[in-house]
A and B are shown apart, each in its own frame.
Chain A
Amino acid sequence: MSAVIDDHGHAGHDHHHGPAKGLSRWLLTTNHKDIGSMYLWFSFAAFLLGGSMAMVIRAELFQPGLQIVQPEFFNQMTTMHGLIMVFGAVMPAFVGLANWMIPLMIGAPDMALPRVNNFSFWLLPAAFGLLVSTLFMEGGGPNFGWTFYAPLSTTYAPESVTFFIFAIHLMGISSIMGAINVIATILNLRAPGMTLMKMPLFVWTWLITAFLLIAVMPVLAGVVTMMLMDIHFGTSFFSAAGGGDPVLFQHVFWFFGHPEVYIMILPAFGAVSSIIPAFSRKPLFGYTSMVYATGAIAFLSFIVWSHHMFTVGIPLVGELFFMYATMLIAVPTGVKVFNWVSTMWRGSLSFEAPMLFAVAFVILFTIGGFSGLMLAIAPADFQYHDTYFVVAHFHYVLVPGAIFGIFASAYYWLPKWTGHMYDETLAKLHFWMSFVGMNLAFFPMHFVGLAGMPRRIPDYNMMFANFNMVSSVGAFMFGATQLLFLFIVIKCIRGGPAAPAKPWDGAEGLEWSVPSPAPYHTFQTPPDMSEVHEHRKGTGGELTP
Chain B
Amino acid sequence: MSTELPLRRLVLRLTLVVVAMFGFGFALVPIYDVMCQAFGINGKTAGAYTGAQTADAAREVRVQFLATNAAGMDWEFGPQADQLSVHPGASTEIRFVAYNPTDKPMTAQAIPSVSPAKAAAYFHKTECFCFTQQVLQPGERIEMPVRFIVDRDLPADVRHLTLAYTLFDITPRQPPVATLSATAAKESLQ
Contact = CB atoms under 8 A, between A and B. Distances in A.
Any A–B CB pair closer than 8 Å: yes
Interface of A: 3, 5-7, 10, 109, 112-114, 176, 179-180, 183-184, 187-189, 214-223, 225-226, 234, 236-237, 240-243, 245, 247-248, 251-252, 255, 313-318
B39 to A, nearest CB: 5
Contact of B4 (A179, A188, A318): A188
Contacts of B169: 241
A240 B22 contact: no
B2 A113 contact: yes
A315 B21 contact: no
Given A113-B2, A236-B189, 12 more contacts: A176-B18, A183-B10, A184-B14, A188-B6, A214-B17, A217-B21, A219-B22, A222-B28, A243-B190, A315-B40, A318-B39, A318-B41
Q: 10 nearest interchain CB pairs?
A: A222-B25, A241-B168, A218-B21, A218-B22, A219-B25, A180-B14, A243-B190, A315-B39, A240-B111, A188-B7
Contacts of B6: 3, 188
29 contacts: A7-B1, A109-B1, A112-B7, A179-B14, A184-B14, A188-B10, A189-B1, A214-B18, A219-B21, A219-B24, A219-B25, A219-B28, A222-B26, A237-B29, A240-B111, A241-B109, A241-B173, A243-B188, A243-B189, A243-B190, A245-B32, A245-B36, A248-B29, A248-B32, A251-B32, A252-B28, A315-B39, A315-B40, A318-B41
A110 to B, nearest CB: 8
B41 A114 contact: no
Contacts of B70: 240-241
Contacts of B24: 218-219, 222
A219 B17 CA distance: 11
Contacts of B44: 245
A149 to B, nearest CB: 15
B11 interface: yes
Contact of B25 (A184, A189, A240, A252): A252
Contacts of B7: 3, 112, 184, 188
Given A184-B7, A241-B168, A313-B117, A247 B42 contact: yes
B85 to A, nearest CB: 25
Given A241-B170, A315-B117, A216 B21 contact: yes
Contacts of A184: 7, 10-11, 14
A10 B14 contact: no
A112 B2 contact: yes
Contacts of B166: 240
Contacts of A241: 70, 109, 111, 168-170, 173
Nearest to B22: A218
A480 B9 CA distance: 48
Contacts of B170: 241-242
B1 A187 contact: no
B102 interface: no
Interface SS, B side: helix
B124 interface: no
B87 interface: no
Interface in B76-132: 109, 111, 117-118
B15 interface: yes
Contacts of A7: 1
B22 A10 contact: no
Nearest to B173: A234
A10 B1 contact: yes
A201 B53 CA distance: 62
Contacts of B111: 240-241, 243
Nearest to B73: A241
A247 B11 contact: no
A175 B173 CA distance: 37
A214 B21 contact: yes
B109 A242 contact: yes
A222 B19 CA distance: 10
A221 B25 contact: yes
Q: Of B6, B23, B28, B43, which is in contact with the most chain A CB atoms at under 10 Å from its CB?
A: B28
B28 A255 contact: yes
A226 B29 CA distance: 10
Contacts of A217: 18, 21
Nearest to A183: B14
Interface in B160-190: 166, 168-170, 173, 188-190
A74 B105 CA distance: 40
A462 B36 CA distance: 42
A241 B188 CA distance: 11
Nearest to B174: A242
Nearest to B44: A245
Contacts of A222: 21-26, 28
From A184, A220, A237, A316, name the one whose CB has the most chain B CB atoms within 10 angstroms.
A184
